[in-house]
Amino acid sequence: MKMQLGEIASAVSAQNDTSAWNEIEVSSVAFDSRHLASGALFVPLEGERDGHEYVSNAFKNGAVATLWKADHGKAPADVPVLVVDDPLTALQALSQHYLLKINPKVVAVTGSNGKTTTKDMVASILSAQFNVTKTLDNFNNEIGVPVTILSMEPNTEVLVIEMGMDRPGQLDFLSRLVEPDVAIITMIGEAHIEFFGTRDKIADAKMEITHGLKADGTFIYDGDEPLLAERAKQVSQRKQTFGRRKTDDMYALDVKETDTQTTFTASEWPDQEMTVPMIGDYNVNNALAALSVAQLYRISPQASAEAFTHLDLTENRAEWVDGSAGERILSDVYNSNPTAVKEVMAAFSQVDTVGKRRVVLGDMLELGDQSARLHASLASAIDPQLVQDVYLVGPEMKALYDALQDKYDAAHLHLYGTDEQSNLISQLKGDTGPSDLVLIKGSHGIHLENVLAALQ
């Protein structure tokens, strides 16, 4: 991003006279005064802390200008300031202005599971032929999407945007903000069911990603999900499905798994084997969604297969790391929901080992009134013949602990409070040997990354 402050002032409808600063060049935006690059425009957001309190710190760290909320008192007079009605709305307006200016193709991805992996896969494949910018980390909400847009280099040809949601209307806003050329829904699960109540309502909210889809755009979705198939009938744009059935436009053939990779062929390219360097049959659907985009943008099957071999994957999504005792740890600590746990448990339980398999599961958040039932339902995915020790963390995991009582004795089933991670770490270190396998998975709010770090 490179824009003069005068252009930015016009894009965000600044209320004050900025003529004295119009030629100041801005090279990035930032909302954290501690972490910004020289040349940044600081965006003071109001949340748990008021960003306006950190404007002076932002300038000390290299900011060249700041936004300022009009009703927030007198703006600083000694630094370049753009006075706006609301800094967040201004950030979003600026991102839309910049998006129209660069004018890349936009691929938007959402889904209860797999959206980050699919985003990474799509970006990797399209990079074989285009200059691509993709969402970094979890920048997938009303703040993160505009920041991602504004991070684009001027030569960006395709923007791959991940979109998250935790309430109705959120994807509608984001979709209309970016007006995607391609909209992808990976699947419908129980994530955020606390806010929606049913999977039907989750599907309704996910479908909002199509609300801003260009008239000549394409909607790509899981054709094996009845909730999506029914709703897709209301979408007038071109549609493509992926899945495991021959009725899908892109379906998988000859799937084979190991502990480090999954191979398959796609129905459209049956002569080209695809190898995804990730554990789990469930990642095949993510790959099929990405291959649907490849086909749309005329990326060859050979180039797509090559792109899979060097995926740039976001950290802490089903990633193998080494423990200090010599054990292998499958780290999946970024997020968790019932579908995701069952999928990764199925893959982990089949990984060969001469040692023991141990699982550490943290609370799955945002499940609302159905939390106890959904936590207890994980018991069906845990087989004591395949998983020898289970360590559960958080108050919601008490339901699973109770459901596993008839499968495990007290020596092999453990429950810890969220404030008892030190005890968990000590127990794991004492129990785990060099030939063992350990799975660690939980919602980000449980912070099992601390357990992971202690074992490494």
**Digitized pLDDT (tens) for each residue of the chain, 456 residues in all:** 999 999 999 999 999 999 999 999 999 999 999 999 999 999 999 988 999 999 999 999 999 999 999 999 999 999 999 999 999 999 999 999 999 999 999 999 999 989 999 999 999 999 999 999 999 888 999 999 999 999 999 999 999 999 999 899 999 999 999 999 999 999 998 877 778 889 999 999 999 999 999 999 999 999 999 999 999 999 999 999 999 999 999 999 999 999 999 999 999 999 999 999 999 999 999 999 999 999 999 999 999 999 999 898 887 677 899 999 999 999 988 889 999 999 999 999 999 999 999 999 999 998 889 999 999 999 999 999 999 999 999 999 999 999 999 999 999 999 999 999 999 999 999 999 999 999 999 998 999 999 999 999
Is the distance from CB of 90 to CB of 158 less than 8 angstroms?
no
> How far, in Å, CA of 414 to CA of 284, rounded?
33
Residue ranges covered by each domain of the chain? 3-94, 104-309, 319-455
Q: Is 127 assigned a ligand-binding role in the annotation?
A: no
| Six token digits for residue 203 | 């599907």
DSSP letter for 46, please.
B
> How far, in Å, CA of 456 to CA of 447, rounded?
15
Is the distance from CB of 259 to CB of 278 less than 8 angstroms?
no
Indicate the burial class of 398 (C-beta count within 10 angstroms; 0-12, 13-18, 19 or more).
Answer: middle
Q: Is 112 assigned a ligand-binding role in the annotation?
A: yes
**Residue keyed to tokens 């691929």:** 107
Q: Is 113 assigned a ligand-binding role in the annotation?
A: yes
Look up the CATH superfamily of 3-94.
Answer: MurE/MurF, N-terminal domain (3.40.1390.10)
Give the fold, CATH level 3, of 104-309. Answer: UDP-N-acetylmuramoyl-L-alanine:D-glutamate ligase (3.40.1190)
Is the distance from CB of 296 to CB of 361 less than 8 angstroms?
no
**Residue keyed to tokens 């972490």:** 35
Q: Is 114 assigned a ligand-binding role in the annotation?
A: yes
| Six token digits for residue 204 | 């309704």
SS3 for 252?
Answer: strand
CATH architecture of 319-455: Alpha-Beta Complex (3.90)
**What value, to the nearest 5°, has the Cα angle with vertex 312 and ends 338 and 299?**
100
Helix axes 301-309, 115-126, angle to 10 degrees: 120
Q: Is 398 assigned a ligand-binding role in the annotation?
A: no
> How far, in Å, CA of 329 to CA of 322, rounded?
6
